[in-house]
Structure 1
Amino acid sequence: MEWASIRNFLGIPAHLTGKGVAIAVVDGYFPPHPDITANDRRHTYFVNAVSADTKPLLFQTGKAPWKSCHGLMTSAAAAGSGSLSSGFFSGAAPEADLFLIETGPLPTVEETEKKFVMALRWLSNNWRKYNIRGVVLTIAYTIDTGLLPWQADPIKVHCEQLAKEGLLIVVASGNTKELTCSGPASSPSVLSVGGVIVPHCTDEISSYHGCHGITFEGKRIPEILAPAENIVLPTPFQSAEEYENHYTVQFDNLPDGYSRTEGTSYAAPVILGCAACIWQANPEWTASQVETAMIQTAKYKAEWFEAGAGLVDLQAASKYPGKSFTTADKFQRFDQSASVQSDIKIVSSILSSYGEAISAESIDQLKALIMHAQSPKVRAAALCRLAAASDLTYTEIRFSLNDQSSYVKMAALFCLRNREDMWEGVTSRVIDLFNDEDLNIQYCAIKLASTIKHPSFIKPLIYGMLNDARKLKVSTFGARCEALQRLTGIAYEPVPEFREGQCFYSELSTKSRIDIALKWQQYLAKGNVKSI
């Protein structure tokens, strides 16, 4: 089968290539693959964000074999040259200058937070110096799923600061349809990206199964769409076995070293590449203006209602009339109702000194808000502020875990992350939240269980697996597997096995998850778990 390239699918004009525009990609590792390294048409620079020496170094092509990895694909989607496909399977902006900001491995939420903050600090200190216009972040980051105020997350705090300074921040919204968002996509000033499926032999474009919903601040996720499935990107296979195990490559008529893949991790850098092309045509535009032009000119279809966003139209965006820019454009994406805006003002006031010392009088006022404030967002903000000051009692946490609002329950789960002294007393309530009606709460309760690692979690984690597998709750199923592995040291291999390039929601993937669930039920039946 033959597949469209990113540029052909989006109809990007040949003369718009991102030439002369610098953009950045933050990821764990970047191999010296010719699609993303420097060439005679553009410069690529490598930055080690976590080393003592963070000076950008010209990134030259290294010897094959190159490692196939997330960072290669994200940077290639933004500005890959398509070198090994004679330029055909290039990224959105193949002549944009690239700054590849490497963080190294990201094994835990804590490591991810620490290293991405270092990368964002590097950008804060250097984006003006090197004239970097935008950056893309594609991390799966699970402090929350969009239901906490942005001030509670250090990565979002740095994103907001950079956006305020004038840098375009583009973030992948996440790949699982049951959650509001993944990573810092909920941060108010970043551009969150969802996806569409690149069709084969048809003009019917359908929406991708990504995250969607409304965040704490009232922002709709996602805000714009780009190709997120059937994207052809460089995939340097390390062996014949790896090639043969790939789900699609043997059936596609693609150049060696390329394959189809999926994920909003690749849609987001496509949007950054499109922004580079728009800046090439309109170098005087600000980040906010480029963002507005893309959103206002995006193509909408009724079938994409669930996504709530339109597909980027680069040609139309590059010709967006400058007189149409207004200061209100950015905020049309948020809920403007009086009650929501009133809540946000109060929340901003509560969290304006987040992380700073707090007076005894203020503590008493915040504790009163937790118990009595009418607005759930105000109650949640008060919880987050007191958590930062380590001034919450067991009674207050327990009370908040029983709140009817998802915002408050999410804030209570957030507060518990660093309160090991309370874990023993809340295990039964955390277990109850495994079955909360809001899948965001289910997911984060299971993630917290993975941190607490109390043996009483094992049975309820297993009990819910088969239902999650059958009802395509991909996020919570994966979280259950991770938690059970941490609790028992066991990770079952599925039959059929998961294969690279295989859709998360396919019938084959569902069969694999059901197989894992049945193996865990057998584990229970053998009496491996004692009653607690």
Structure 2
Amino acid sequence: MTVNSIAQFAPRAHTAATRPQQEAAPGPALPQEKYDVVAQSVSLVTPMELTDMAFKLPSPASRIDAVKEVLTVQDAWDMGITGKGVGVAVIDTGVYPHPDLGDRLVAFKDYVNGRDGVDNAYDDNGHGSHCAGLVGGDGSKADGRFKGPAFEASIIGVKVLDGVGGGQMSNVVKGIQWAIKHKDDYNIRVMSLSLGAGSNLKEDDDIVAQAIQAALDADIVPVVAAGNSGPAKFTIGTPGISSAALTVGAYDDKNTADHGDDTMAFFSSRGPTTRDKNVKPDIAAPGVQMVSFRSPGSSIDHADVTKLGAYYVLLSGTSMATPVTAGVVALVRQANPELSARQVMDILKETADPMADTKAILAGHGLVDPAAAVRKALSLKEQKPAA
């Protein structure tokens, strides 16, 4: 399968590094024949003309707390909804046991090197850890800043990509199947997949899209990155092509809380899907210059990316927008555990904040709105007739 995304360290994965990206990318390249799926980030070798479209920061410390200041998540927290008790499977490059997770990394499965178990948890790339923090970091090493939406959720790390961010479709399918099998062990109600590859197949013929459908059928909400192959249309990768996926595009907040200057990120993949012509993405979330976990000794940690102290790094991509959305899904699932996965997905779409003058093939239903989604979930709980 041909990969259509941009790699973190070669022209192929999908997390966007947040430095002037014209420098040569460090680390090993991803040989085309070795990998058929990659992490969804924008690479260090993004063309200059695209790099110039991203906002620049005077210093890393000047980055706003985008999850809290751009989204309505504080209102959800004020309702007592923090993701507590909900399990989120981060299917990615692994998860480093960052201090901001405390004891909430509750399981770790490794399909790359076989180092299973929380005591062996690691991330030799750094991408999966960054995503885990955007789901549920508690900001303890940043004086409470840079929390994920679901900062009391449980994190389940499933490593299916290697140290340079590439992997095999078969391992991604295994990772999804493992999460389904163990959903009751860890109350896995959400999975976050910031990975993908190009697909010329109909979703019914795509093995990863089929696995995503199985997850939804098992009452797990699959949140999937759209990819970073924009601004062209028909660039949604698999498994984001799946109609069973909540496919996420990256929103550019321009480092302000004011939505008036916001746009979709230039790199965010556009729909519709190539073969089925489905409108994708479904929703958007902040995905540019996002602050989250730094994984010591990882490939990203050694790369020329913007770091914020000893514990955080700034990255961009639909990879970052996806776990933010997965964290919001965890809030909704805590707010009303009786809702099905399909109902939860519908709520996020229905309550999203539409983006003016932005086509659905760019932003789907609009910017995710945590407070509105939680309120809707709670209202449905209140309307349920007594037994």
Q: TM-score, normalised by structure 2?
A: 0.71
Q: Secondary structure at the match of 1:229?
A: coil
C-alpha RMSD over aligned residues: 3.0
Q: What CA distance in whole angstroms lies between the structure 2 residues aligned with 1:227 and 1:97?
A: 22
**Which runs of structure 2 are paired with 1:256-271 in the superposition (5 Å)?**
256-271=310-325
Q: What CA distance in whole angstroms lies between the structure 2 residues aligned with 1:49 and 1:195?
A: 28
- Report the counterpart of residue 313 of structure 1 in structure 2: 369
Q: 1:165 aligns with which of 212, 218, 234?
A: 218
- Report the counterpart of residue 191 of structure 2 in structure 1: 135
The answer (yes or no) to whether the contact 1:233–1:259 under 8 Å persists in 2 is yes
Higher-helix-fraction structure: 1
Indicate yes or no: 2:174 matched with 1:118: yes
Indicate yes or no: 2:276 matched with 1:214: no
Q: From the CA coordinates, give the structure whose radius of gyration is larger.
A: 1
The answer (yes or no) to whether the contact 2:71–2:370 under 8 Å persists in 1 is yes
Indicate yes or no: 2:288 matched with 1:229: yes
Q: How far apart are residue 29 of structure 1 and its match? A: 2.7
- Report the counterpart of residue 155 of structure 2 in structure 1: 98
- Report the counterpart of residue 339 of structure 2 in structure 1: 285
Q: 1:152 aligns with which of 194, 205, 214?
A: 205
- Report the counterpart of residue 328 of structure 2 in structure 1: 274
Q: What is the letter of the counterpart of residue 317 of structure 1? A: A
Indicate yes or no: 2:130 matched with 1:47: no
Deviations 1:124-164 (A, max 9, x none): 3221343210101111323x1xx421122211111112212
Deviations 1:82-110 (A, max 9, x none): 2321231121211101111112528798x
Q: What CA distance in whole angstroms lies between the structure 2 residues aligned with 1:285 and 1:112?
A: 33
Q: 1:243 to 1:280 in 2, by over 3 A?
A: same
**Which runs of structure 2 are paired with 1:32-431 in the superposition (5 Å)?**
32-36=97-101, 38-39=102-103, 42-49=104-111, 57-58=117-118, 69-105=126-162, 111-142=167-198, 144=199, 147-177=200-230, 178=232, 179-201=234-256, 203=258, 204-209=261-266, 210-215=268-273, 216-236=275-295, 245-246=304-305, 248-249=306-307, 254-305=308-359, 307-309=362-364, 310-320=366-376, 321-322=379-380
Q: What CA distance in whole angstroms lies between the structure 2 residues aligned with 1:78 and 1:141?
A: 22
Q: What CA distance in whole angstroms lies between the structure 2 residues aligned with 1:119 and 1:201?
A: 37
Q: What CA distance in whole angstroms lies between the structure 1 residues aligned with 2:296 and 2:253?
A: 23
The answer (yes or no) to whether the contact 1:28–1:71 under 8 Å persists in 2 is yes
Q: What CA distance in whole angstroms lies between the structure 2 residues aligned with 1:108 and 1:102?
A: 10
Q: What CA distance in whole angstroms lies between the structure 1 residues aligned with 2:113 and 2:179?
A: 14
Q: How far apart are residue 73 of structure 1 and its match? A: 0.7
- Report the counterpart of residue 23 of structure 1 in structure 2: 88
Q: What CA distance in whole angstroms lies between the structure 2 residues aligned with 1:129 and 1:121?
A: 14
Higher-strand-fraction structure: 2
Q: Secondary structure at the match of 2:147?
A: coil
Q: Which has the higher contact order (CA 8 A, sep 6+)?
A: 2
Q: How far apart are residue 300 of structure 1 and its match? A: 0.9
Q: How far apart are residue 67 of structure 1 and its match? A: 5.6
Q: What is the letter of the counterpart of residue 17 of structure 1? A: T
Q: What CA distance in whole angstroms lies between the structure 2 residues aligned with 1:276 and 1:61?
A: 22
The answer (yes or no) to whether the contact 2:93–2:161 under 8 Å persists in 1 is yes
Q: TM-score, normalised by structure 1?
A: 0.53
Q: How far apart are residue 195 of structure 1 and its match? A: 1.6
Q: What CA distance in whole angstroms lies between the structure 2 residues aligned with 1:95 and 1:226?
A: 20
Q: What CA distance in whole angstroms lies between the structure 2 residues aligned with 1:93 and 1:237?
A: 24
Q: What CA distance in whole angstroms lies between the structure 1 residues aligned with 2:193 and 2:372?
A: 25
Q: How far apart are residue 291 of structure 1 and its match? A: 0.8
Q: What is the letter of the counterpart of residue 267 of structure 1? A: A
Q: What CA distance in whole angstroms lies between the structure 2 residues aligned with 1:261 and 1:123?
A: 26
Q: What CA distance in whole angstroms lies between the structure 2 residues aligned with 1:47 and 1:67?
A: 14
Structure 1, gaps ≥5 residues long: 326-532
The answer (yes or no) to whether the contact 1:222–1:308 under 8 Å persists in 2 is yes
Q: What is the letter of the counterpart of residue 161 of structure 1? A: A
Query: What percentage of residue pairs aligned between the two structures are identical?
Result: 28
Q: What CA distance in whole angstroms lies between the structure 2 residues aligned with 1:238 and 1:129?
A: 31
Q: What CA distance in whole angstroms lies between the structure 1 residues aligned with 2:229 and 2:152?
A: 32
Q: How far apart are residue 275 of structure 1 and its match? A: 0.7
